[in-house]
Structure 1
Amino acid sequence: MSLSEQEQRALREIEQSLLADDPKFGSSVAGGHGFGATGTPGITLRGVAIAVVGLVMLIGGVALAQQSLWFIALSVVGFLVMFGAGVWMLRGGGGSATGRVSKRRTNRGRAPASSVEENFRRRFEER
C-alpha cells in the first residue's frame, strides 16, 4: 500500500526537521539509501517481477521434485531469487533517490514547523 501525497510530504518534513536538529544522527539514519530515502524505497515493477520469477522457480521445483532430485536445486535457487528481490526492494530498488534537505531555519534556529505539526499543536491547545 502506497502513501498518499500528504503522508509523503509529512514524512519528508519529519526527515528534514530531524536532519536540521541533529545532522549527524539524521544522515546516519537517512543516508540516501535504505528505508530513509526520500523516494519510495522499493516496490517497483522490476522488483516484483524478479520476486514472481523466484516464486515460479520455487513452486516449479517443488512440483517437479518427484521426477528428479535436481529440481530441488531449482527450488532453492528460486527461494534465493525471491529473497534477493525482497532485500533489493527494501534497500531501495536500485533507485538513485537521495534525501535532499532544506537548509531553511526560523529565527530561533529550529526547523520550520510542518502544517501537520501546527494542526496537532492547535488541537492540543484547544483542550
Structure 2
Amino acid sequence: MGGARLRSLVPALLLAGGCASFEGARLYDRGTAALVRGDAAAAVADLERAAARVPHASEIQNHLGLAYAALGRHAEALAAFRRAVALDCDNGAAQRNLRAAEGGFAAPAAVASEPPEAAR
C-alpha cells in the first residue's frame, strides 16, 4: 500500500476517532507493508497495535489474519478473519480469506485484495 492510499484512509479515520485512529492508520500501513515484503512477525506487531486503536476496521482484522496465517498461527488467523467479516459483511477479501481458513488454508490469500475504508 502506498502513501496515497494511506492519505485517503487518514481523514476518515481521524473523523472516526481522533489521534488513536491516525496512529492506527499509520500502523495499518506499516503492517501491510511488512506483510507484503514477507515480514509476518513485524506485520503482526504493527497490525495488532492498529487493531487496538481502530477496533472497527475490517481491513485491519483481515490483514492481521493474513499475518497470523503466514506465521502458522491458524486459530488466531481464523478468529481475525471472523472479526473482519463480522465488522463488514461486504468485505469480499475477508470473506474469501475466512473460507480459505475454514478449509484449512488450502488457498493462499492476497494482501492487496481490498481497498482500505474506515467505514468497514
TM-score strictly above 0.5:
no
Structure with more relative contact order (C-alpha pairs < 8 Å, separation 6 or more): 1
Shorter-chain TM-score bucket reads under 0.3
Q: Which has the higher helix share?
A: 2
The structure number with the bigger radius of gyration is 1
